[in-house]
Structure 1
Amino acid sequence: MTEPSSEEFRTLVQGVFEQVPFVREVGLKLHAFDFAAQTLSAEFARKPELIGNHFHNILHGGVIATALDTVGGFTAMVAAYQRMGGAIDWEEKVQRLMRLGTVDMRVDYLKPGRGEHFVCSGSILRVGNKLVVSRMELHNDREELISTGTATFLY
């Protein structure tokens, strides 16, 4: 198979993103993807299954961590793909990208997860030969910063 164009790669990433069962369960949808800037964001709506504190109607902390980890990981995938460049053939790139996994993640819960709609964005702090470090933020529909995260991914 030949190397995909940037747009074809974006379509591939979106397809993989949509295939993750837990991503579908949470309702995460790819929102924005800037291949050149290595940024990605996803959005989801509040639904009863995602509430952790039903007295105050706020998101479960695990849902917040899942959104951060997922967006950080897919952002890392884009950065890793670009880092590998032309030195590695397409099949080997795919194998490495499919093995991408979280090595470490820190989540800071800054405000209760109140809102009807949430956007999680990711950017890259550093890309190495085997590790990528991503920075993530989760905002609600009032543009309040709910949580931040920093994660390291192995590829």
Structure 2
Amino acid sequence: MIKTLNPDFKTSIQEKLKQQEFMRYLGFEVTTIEEGRLEGELVLGQEHRQHMGFAHGGVIATLADIVAGLSAVTLVPKNHHVVTVELKVSYLNPGVGEKLLAKGWVLKQGSRLNFCEAEVYVTKGTNEPLLIAKASATMATIAPEAIRRED
């Protein structure tokens, strides 16, 4: 059973989002924060596309990593951190459209490792979102005292 160890997880996520420089640089916006689940979207610009006009695979993988990781953050104790241990992305369709939608969730919560999944969709006009990538990720929980910083 998935259960948060931080009853104030929404505030914790909001604080962590302020520090997500790369996410902000890409233009990714979080739209849903729930216990063990997170969603967001990215309006596709030319800078997000590869040479054939599709959403770049690196952008898609990054979104999968973000939503999977932050979904794990909703479950860990308040001052703990989450880092990616492993990420596997399967690309199912080309990302041709106007917006990417990313959904991540925790499949199995552990004391040190969280097993997560993510899906990335593309939208085009009024068509139903098309699933373009599916990811599985392992996210490690890091206690604050375990982080060594070099000065």
Would you say 1:70 and 2:47 are equivalent positions? no
- Would you say the 8 A contact 2:6–2:75 is kept in 1? no
Higher percent of residues as helix: 1
User: 1:19 deviation in Å?
Assistant: 2.5
Q: How does 1:49-128 map to 2 (within 5 A)?
A: 49-53=47-51, 56-81=52-77, 93-94=78-79, 96-97=80-81, 100-128=82-110
Give secondary structure in 1 for the equivalent of 2:136: strand
Question: Which 4+ runs in 1 deviate beyond 3 A?
Answer: 3-6
CA distance, structure 2, for counterparts of residue 76 and residue 4 of structure 1: 11
- Would you say the 8 A contact 2:108–2:115 is kept in 1? yes
CA distance, structure 1, for counterparts of residue 42 and residue 11 of structure 2: 20
Query: Deviations 1:65-88 (Å, cap 9, x if unpaired)?
Result: 00000110000111234xxxxxxx
Counterpart in the other structure of 2:133: 147
Query: Deviations 1:91-121 (Å, cap 9, x if unpaired)?
Result: xx40x22xx2111111000001111011100
Gaps of 5+ in 1: 82-92
User: 1:4 deviation in Å?
Assistant: 7.2
- Would you say the 8 A contact 1:18–1:29 is kept in 2? no
How many matched pairs?
Answer: 133
- Would you say the 8 A contact 1:71–1:136 is kept in 2? yes
Task: Provide the TM-score with structure 2 as the length reference.
Answer: 0.81
CA RMSD between the two structures: 1.7
Q: Residues 67 and 19 (structure 1 numbering): CA distance in 2 closer, same or farther, change over 3 Å?
A: same
Counterpart in the other structure of 2:11: 11
* Identical positions, percent: 30
Would you say 1:132 and 2:114 are equivalent positions? yes
Counterpart in the other structure of 2:23: 23
Task: Provide the TM-score with structure 1 as the length reference.
Answer: 0.79
